[in-house]
Amino acid sequence: MASSSGRSIVETFLLVLTVSSMMMSSGLEARRLLQTTQPSIPNMPGIPSNLPKPTGLPPLPSIPSNIPPLPTNLPNMPKPNALPPFPSIPQFPTVPQATLPPLPNIPSIPTIPTTMPSIPFLSPPPSN
């Protein structure tokens, strides 16, 4: 009985072999298509040679000389303070504020002394 890793190697090999044979057959088909004779394309009719030859560009249209002048007085624009007022924002009902009961008194914690008391018989004798 083959192990799972051995079976995996065999499956991978078969997959690579199948893909490579498909690539080779598609390459052979492409080569065969290139080697076959191309179908003949019918000749397209040429452009007739008796068309009139362009001699130049047509003349530009003339600009009329009686153009009215631009107006110099502009119409009055509305002033910014003449705009209508904004609509009023509706008032939302107020939500009553929740009040919390007072916190209970917490007893004070005694402090821990940070200095060591001196013990007479463990300390060195006083110097004279």
Amino acid letter at 57? L
Q: pLDDT confidence of 26, banded at 50, 70, 90?
A: confident
Better pLDDT: 121 or 96: 96
Q: Is the pTM of this model over 0.85?
A: no
Task: Give the C-alpha separation, 62 to 60, whole Å.
Answer: 6
Quote the pLDDT of residue 17: 85
Quote the pLDDT of residue 39: 66
Segment 40-86, tens digit of pLDDT: 777 777 777 777 777 778 788 887 778 778 777 877 776 766 667 77
* Mean pLDDT for all residues in the chain: 76
Better pLDDT: 3 or 49: 49
Residue 10 contacts residue 2 (beta carbons within 8 Å): yes
